[in-house]
Amino acid sequence: MLFDCKSYYSFFQPLEVTRHTLLSDKMGFHFFELPKLPDDISQENMLMLWLALFKADTEEELEKIKGMEAPIMSQAINAYYTITASSEFREKEQLRTRVCLKIHSCHLHAPLYGRFVPHSVNVAQYASLIRDKSPANCDAQLTESNFKTHSSTRY
């Protein structure tokens, strides 16, 4: 949760820190916390319907919104179904998933690509860090990092 309150909606306006004067009444920040959204939604409240649509994770939730007989929501859900049914969308989704996995993998292995002088204090500190985080993988990761060190690099 973003804010420690029960309300799904919060509105903020920027104030000067010491004098607490409002910067502008023409500017503000609206936050909608979807997990806090109430379950009972009226078909007349378009904002709540759109928020429920953004929150929907399952086909059942989409069909529940569609069943409220708000024409614009039915159009939006039908458009979503049309887009996600295309082979182009599925291909892009698979590529996006692969990129996300690659980025995650890079973040996991980022410390291994540092340049260490062999037998330096940095290697010892790194070994200690890896051993604390993952004792089972320590030797494999240190071996991998040692192959990536550059002894000719001067610090």
- Name residue 67's beta-bridge partners: none
Rounded to two decimals, what is the model's pTM? Answer: 0.55
Contact 52, 43 (CB under 8 A): no
- Number of helices (H), then strands (E), belonging to the chain: the values are 6, 2
Give the whole-angstrom CA distance, residue 53 versus residue 32. Answer: 13
User: According to the model, what pLDDT value does residue 90 have?
Assistant: 85
Tens-digit pLDDT profile for residues 108-153: 665 554 544 444 445 455 555 555 555 555 445 444 444 444 444 4
- Ramachandran assignment for 20, one of left (phi > 0), alpha (psi -120 to 50 degrees), beta (any other): left
Tens-digit pLDDT profile for residues 66-88: 988 889 999 999 998 888 888 88
**Half-sphere exposure for 139 (CA within 13 Å, toward CB):** 1
Rg of the chain over all Cα atoms, to the nearest angstrom:
26
